[in-house]
Structure 1
């Protein structure tokens, strides 16, 4: 749970062109997860937020159903997680979107390159990955 900075993605239509994208995850008493996605359209723009609810698969905690609009749930999967929980790749079974995320606003280039390679090994077209600029405003959230 906690704060995750979006470092790169094959974005959804809502995420395309965003900067300072950060997701906050909080476990609810009923086992569902509140997801607070904050971003900017430009570095100086006002922050925008999009809330949703995640439902963890009872048989596999790496598979989530995320609900933006009731009753539609989208499939999200924890496809790769660093042993120290500092970086994650979130993927979809359809391979239409993917997210490279980190606990920090930046990643060393060697770590980023390794994660991009991993995304490619999962069957994604890495040429479609878009870097998400993270500015000083991100550190305050």
Structure 2
């Protein structure tokens, strides 16, 4: 079998193994009851994260969501890799909202055929801050509509992430230095 054909299969196996390994030790993440998708769309600054390999050294990380006519969520992740002086990079993906989840559980696809779990685990009532989680507790994103949050809010958000069962030593606060024209 061609090595290129094996890569997606191996990626799926690794993703499933990491999800099932943690799923047995901690209860599933409980999503929020409902997400008003049109209200959720727009820019979200990544305040802190347990990063994927693509965002380990992200600066000015910004996630932008927009609804597509077919009800999917077009996602654009913009960041500078390694410093504020680097050029802006972008990663585009598609969010598929899980039926009967109150719009709070998605499958996000960066590379076909893999859809990564995306759970809106906590959402501030005014839609100004959010915690996105995964049952595997391998990645999380703490985001806000502004590039920074007050220290007391940051501490409360970290407590919420800790209560979800995440390893706090893996959290990375994302450097943000704005204003600059958003991508």
Q: TM-score over 0.5 for the alignment? A: yes
Question: Quick check: which one's strand share is greater?
Answer: 1
Residue 54 of structure 1 is matched in structure 2 by: 95
Q: Name which of 4, 10, 14 aligns with 2:50.
A: 10
Q: Any idea what SS the aligned residue of 2:110 has?
A: strand
Structure 2 unaligned regions, length at least 5? 1-40
Q: Structure 1: any 5+ residue segments left out of the alignment? A: none
Selected match of 1:79 from 92, 104, 121: 121
Residue of structure 2 equivalent to 1:97: 139
Q: TM-score scaled by structure 1? A: 0.97
Which runs of at least 4 in structure 1 moved beyond 2 Å after TM superposition? Answer: none
In 2: Cα distance, 1:102 partner to 1:140 partner:
17
TM-score (normalizing by structure 2): 0.75
2:160 paired residue among 94, 98, 118: 118
Q: Cα deviations across residues 21-64 of structure 1 (Å, max 9, x unaligned)?
A: 00000000101000000000110011000000000011111100
**Larger helix proportion, structure 1 or 2?**
2
Alignment coverage as a number of residue pairs? 140
1:117-136 alignment to 2 at 5 Å?
117-136=159-178
Q: CA RMSD in A?
A: 0.8
| Larger-gyration structure (1/2) | 2
Structure 1 residue 140, shift from structure 2 partner: 2.1
Q: Partners of 1:71 and 1:90 in 2: how far apart?
A: 21
